[in-house]
């Protein structure tokens, strides 16, 4: 199993929209590195859902339920999507500020490759973020 982080601007597709829909395909990726990450995703991989630009925080966990296929929003066969379903809403969202200030997360792609919308993360980073989400504010 691998672990991932995807970013969405909440005004475009929020965690609440995702919960309401019960699943979605992850479309609109137009960066080759992010596209290659989508191609590496396997069913049952876990994904941290991050609100970018507004909020700047990890808000939930999703699961890959269908591996990559042609992005239905374009005829350009270079672009792909995967299907995800929500698994869990974080009790306490983990902010980018918290992530940046945590020495155990100093190498996370969210900090090192901040513009990438789909990124791989290590299990220890995934576990650390979930641990931070359980702490009371």
pTM of the model: 0.95
Cβ count near 1 (within 10 Å): 10
Residue 6's pLDDT is what?
98
pLDDT, tens digit (0-9, with 9 covering 90-100), for 55-89 = 999 999 999 999 999 999 999 999 999 999 999 99
Positive or negative torsion for Cα 30, 31, 36, 42: negative
Percent of the chain, pLDDT > 70?
99
Specify whether the CB–CB gap between 58 and 5 falls below 8 A.
yes
Q: Count of domains in the chain?
A: 1
Range of the domain at 30: 3-134
Q: Which of 26, 25, 22 is nearest to 6 (CA)?
A: 26
Residue 114's pLDDT is what?
86
CATH code (residue 21): 3.10.590.10
Q: How confident is the model at residue 135 (pLDDT cuts 50, 70, 90)?
A: confident
């Amino acid at each position: 199993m691998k672990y991932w982080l995807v970013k969405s601007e909440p005004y475009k597709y929020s965690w609440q929209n995702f919960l309401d829909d019960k699943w979605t395909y992850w479309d609109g990726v137009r960066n080759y590195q992010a596209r290659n990450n989508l191609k590496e995703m396997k069913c049952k991989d876990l994904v941290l859902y991050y609100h970018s630009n507004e909020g700047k925080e990890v808000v939930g966990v999703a699961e890959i339920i269908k591996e990559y296929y042609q992005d239905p929003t374009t005829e350009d066969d270079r672009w792909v999507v995967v299907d995800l379903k929500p698994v869990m809403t974080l009790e306490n969202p983990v902010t980018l500020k918290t992530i940046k200030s945590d020495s155990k997360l100093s190498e996370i792609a969210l900090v090192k490759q901040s513009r990438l919308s789909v990124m791989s993360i290590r299990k220890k980073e995934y576990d650390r973020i979930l641990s931070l989400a359980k702490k009371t504010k």
